[in-house]
Amino acid sequence: MADSDVATKAPESDVQETPPPASESVFPGDTPAQAGPTMGEHCTTDRPTPAGEAPTGAITKLGGVDVYVAKPTDYPHSPSKLLLLLTGGTGIQSTNNQLQADKYAAEGYVVIMPDQFNNDPAPNSVNMAELPQDASWLDSIKLKTAEGVKAFMIDMWLARHTSENVLPLLHKVVEGAKEEFADAVANGGGIYGVGYCFGAKYILILAGEYPDPAVQGQEAPNDVEAGVVKKEPVLRAGAIAHGTMVTKDDLEAVKSPVFIAAVKDDPMFPEDEVLTPGRRALEANKVEHDIQVFPGVPHGFAVYGDYDDPKIKQNQEQAFEKMLGWIQAH
């Protein structure tokens, strides 16, 4: 296991935000330590798209769910593997997310990027940095009010997209992909997964044994002593970047090999409450894993998009190479 830091520095305007702590989590069962900041600016807003780039995939349906599908140019004439890509709050209509899927497709993967939000992506962000220096007091009040409204809208949005709502959609897509792209699943010996921000949590869930009767489509047992039948991991291997709302329980349940790209001092993926105990659980459970911590970059840096700071762009590319290398090696 590696825990190396990548040298860079925070950009002037893209330094990681620290959202105000939340009073409780939208995920039932989370501890108070896990009920802090949930979604930041980079979870809900795209960076500018690099000039001259356009997606090459298409939106279709799998299992009745909208999905963006990106394929290698020579598929199906050349063998490919199946990759499930789960996005942050910007969803499958985001040009940057589509371009990210295309990057994996160019490496030999049939990429399935599902609309895990059921046509309800996260509300657009409001940024205080956009306020002109000569703005009036009234303008400042209006924008601060808008920020408060945005935070409330995000909380309401998160309440609509809990695991009880998201996981059934993902399972429909997985079953549809197994049928539609059986050749890619067979060629890879299973399904691989990568996830960013919001989607990272669900890659970890799908890489683990998750004893949730609602997810399994089963009724909870009357006898608590009987426990809940655990399902085998959906994913052969997974890689995530700067997860949000990840809990130590998510990491404790992981069974498939995982790579984690984390941001140093990230309030949305806190080291003391989540990353460190999660690492210990992976070690104790003898799960193959690798964790790399990137200092001085904003939460969301690994999502494809343009940055003025070349060092962030370099780290973005490095995170992609690490995530790609991990699934290629497994």
* Residue 66: count of CB within 10 angstroms of its CB: 20
Strand spans (E) along 3-104: 58-62, 65-70, 81-86
Strand partners for 291 = 260
Task: Write the CB contacts of 307 (distance below 8 Å, at least 6 apart in sequence).
Answer: 11, 14, 47, 301, 313, 316
Burial class, 44, CB count within 10 angstroms (exposed 0-12 / middle 13-18 / buried 19+): buried
Helix, strand, coil tally for the chain in percent (to 5)? 40, 15, 45
Say if CB 246 and CB 197 are below 8 A apart.
no
At residue 234, the pLDDT reads: 96
At residue 120, the pLDDT reads: 86
- Report the alpha-carbon distance of residue 23 to residue 32 in Å, rounded: 8
Rounded to the nearest 10°, the torsion over CA 70, 241, 182, 207 is -160
At residue 150, the pLDDT reads: 60
Helix runs in the chain, H state only: 41-44, 95-105, 137-160, 163-180, 182-188, 198-206, 213-216, 248-252, 276-284, 310-328
Q: What angle do CA 128, 155, 260 make, to 5 degrees?
A: 85
Listing DSSP states for 127-169 in one string gives -GGGS-TT--HHHHHHHHHHHHHHHHHHHHHHHHS-HHHHHHH
Mean pLDDT by 10 residues, the chain (330 residues): 40 37 38 45 76 94 97 94 95 95 98 94 53 50 53 77 91 96 97 97 92 46 50 94 94 97 94 95 97 94 92 95 98
At residue 214, the pLDDT reads: 46
Per-residue DSSP letter, 243: -
At residue 167, the pLDDT reads: 94
Q: What angle do CA 165, 167, 172 make, to 5 degrees?
A: 105
Say if CB 235 and CB 207 are below 8 A apart.
yes
Q: Which of 322, 56, 80, 304 is nearest to 177 (CA)?
A: 80
At residue 223, the pLDDT reads: 43
Quickly tell me which residue has 């049928």 as its tokens: 179
Per-residue DSSP letter, 36: S
- Report the alpha-carbon distance of residue 270 to residue 287 in Å, rounded: 21
Say if CB 58 and CB 171 are below 8 A apart.
no
At residue 30, the pLDDT reads: 36
CATH, range 32-126+162-328: 3.40.50.1820
- The two counts, helices (H) then strands (E), for the chain are 10, 8
At residue 279, the pLDDT reads: 96
- Report the alpha-carbon distance of residue 53 to residue 99 in Å, rounded: 8
